[in-house]
Structure 1
């Protein structure tokens, strides 16, 4: 037996019977020879980590655009927190940790620069619409083809929105993503002076806890307890309602309030860049122009290019294209 086959056999003895087993994967769009060492999902995890799209996450906004401080989350640190939370739950429920980690690390690869303001801008201007979960799948299929397993692509696609992933590991990422961002966005808002812990409604604190660590612990335990009892991914109604109430609180106090002025600038920047590249399509990198050969529209391809940018590169492009050269030297 190869090392991979030994690992696959070990999965059948260690994982619960409703987990997803590597040797039962539905496979890849382009068949390849199995790795003698890694399972298919471990291989996918490695492909994502070594991708350019993953490295760019380190310079993409999570919530606060260009914050003054080194401790604010980026899209990369958010991704790592989602992965840690998901693996903790997966290990407790004896689900496939390699599959969970691959989906978690890839779930935001298609996110725009400049946070959700960038996503709103592209969704408004692109005739086909723009959703970051769909763009993440497009990233790993068309823009930087990683030839990932079906289960990983499905989990990435279904981590947000109304779709339900086909695997419990994929459905787990939906919860891990929310657990991560409702907590770390509060932490960053407190760091920015927008919130204080005491501002969180008392009924939410009574259910989830009064500190960052207590809230994460409560939510993680809720998913584990639900899985043990029901052999499915979910959360008891009281805890889930408290988490959703905390999410609404964030929209009211942080997402739709304090960052509105910065978001407006970010949306203007992405819309302006979109208009420029639609009218100057031949200035896009050749790799993007070639996507038209498979029938993709110019609007879709311009969105591909803009979504692939980091904050730093998008800002640099805006300066280079729209400011007088002499103004760019300061």
Structure 2
């Protein structure tokens, strides 16, 4: 038996590694529930996430390109599924709790606004004086308060470990290990932490770390793919990239004259594989060196344990810069995003001035809401909208709505 296998690292589906989260040691839920005879807490979490209204809405929320621009571009839903698939591969490689890993991956984008980061930028500005806004905190609000489906509680009543992964998958939010330049936690996170502490100063589990790096791998790859399909740059432009450029040369050498769609697919599938294999090799060495004996050892490690090698980290940062230059800040994309920002801004201002324009359950009909509570109610309502619903509301309330093209 190899040393890595003895230490709990391997591609099999056998006994979980010492550093994996243990369902039997779960810290529970805000509202206590009887345990299920057929599902672990994290299987129940995953199932509740998949059956939620917020999950269904991801189908009509922008990733980079709005729905009008073509049926083949990623949405928040297809992105989420890709992240989940990659995260599960890491869970199997490191013998983690696969259900918890999948749950964190599936819930990580619940709080995204219509029109992606364009909508988030507007709500960040509008909510600056009312406790702030960010999609991570909004995801927490959705699963702890805004989903209203169950007879005994608001939200989905997810387990502590899933909530921890949702909030801290990108690292500690407070304390000495908080990433330099990371934003302060917004009021919704701090308010919830005061009631149900999530140890905001510690790192998250490896299951959550797997979901976080899978997000990076997925969007770095599929935004290249979508950018090519949209014609924002050409295959030749990728030759300057350390990772994609080397893969392009390799595919061309092996399959000379390959037609464009097959060439793109061969590049992208290798792009994901190289990044995944790099993370597995790098993290395996990290785990063998540190030998954490429990999930709490991972949380107290003082560093992210599941990460790229320095060389791959540099390559993925280079890819990110390329995407900003050629995709996210391309005038075609920016023009649509400016229109999207105007739509979200118009809606926020109208609802704030005339809350009765929102459905009765949102406007607080018959109650008096202070400015901060009303602004949060408006932000909650707006953030939950799909692109299509936001545009329909804008057409209802305003004389002119942009075509978003």
TM-score (norm 1): 0.89
Match status 1:205 vs 2:243: yes
- The question of 1:187 aligning with 2:225 is answered yes
Q: Secondary structure at the match of 2:113?
A: coil
Q: What is aligned with 2:82?
A: 81
User: How many angstroms apart in 1 are the aligned matches of 2:235 and 2:168?
Assistant: 32
Which residue in the other structure is 1:150 paired with? 160
What's the CA shift for 1:203? 4.4
Supply the distance in 2 between the matched residues of 1:286 and 1:31 (Cα, whole angstroms): 31
Cα gap change, 1:294/1:172 in structure 2, threshold over 3 Å: closer, same or farther? farther
Match of 1:262 among 336, 360, 368: 336
2:285 aligns with 229
Residue 201 of structure 1 deviates from its aligned partner by 4.7
Range 295-304 or range 270-279, more displaced: 295-304
What is the CA-CA distance between 1:286 and the residue it aligns to?
3.3
Aligned Cα RMSD in Å?
A: 2.5
- Alignment of structure 1 residues 1-330 onto 2, 5 Å: 14-126=15-127, 127=129, 128-144=131-147, 145-160=155-170, 163=173, 165-205=203-243, 209-210=247-248, 211-231=267-287, 232-258=305-331, 259-290=333-364, 297-323=373-399
Which stretches in structure 2 are left out of the alignment for 5+ residues?
1-12, 148-154, 174-201, 249-266, 288-304
1:221-280 deviations in whole A, cap 9, x for unaligned? 111112211123112110011111111111121112231111100001000000000011
What does residue 3 of structure 1 align with?
none
Change (3 A) 1:197 1:47: same
Structure 1 residue 165, shift from structure 2 partner: 4.3
The DSSP-based 3-state class of the residue aligned with 1:95 is coil
Instruction: Decide which structure has greater helix share.
Output: 1
Measure the CA separation in 2 of the matches of 1:24 and 1:150: 11
Q: Distance in 2 between matches of 1:275 and 1:152?
A: 34
Give 1 or 2 for the bigger CA radius of gyration.
2
Residues of 1 paired with 2:172 and 2:16: CA distance?
28
Report the count of equivalent residues.
316
Shift of residue 27, structure 1, vs aligned partner: 1.0
> Is the 1:133–1:160 contact (alpha carbons within 8 Å) kept by the matching residues of 2?
no
For 1:183 and 1:155, the matched residues in 2 are separated by 23
- Structure 1 residue 67: deviation in Å? 3.7
- Paired with 1:155 and 1:276, the residues of 2 have a C-alpha distance of 35
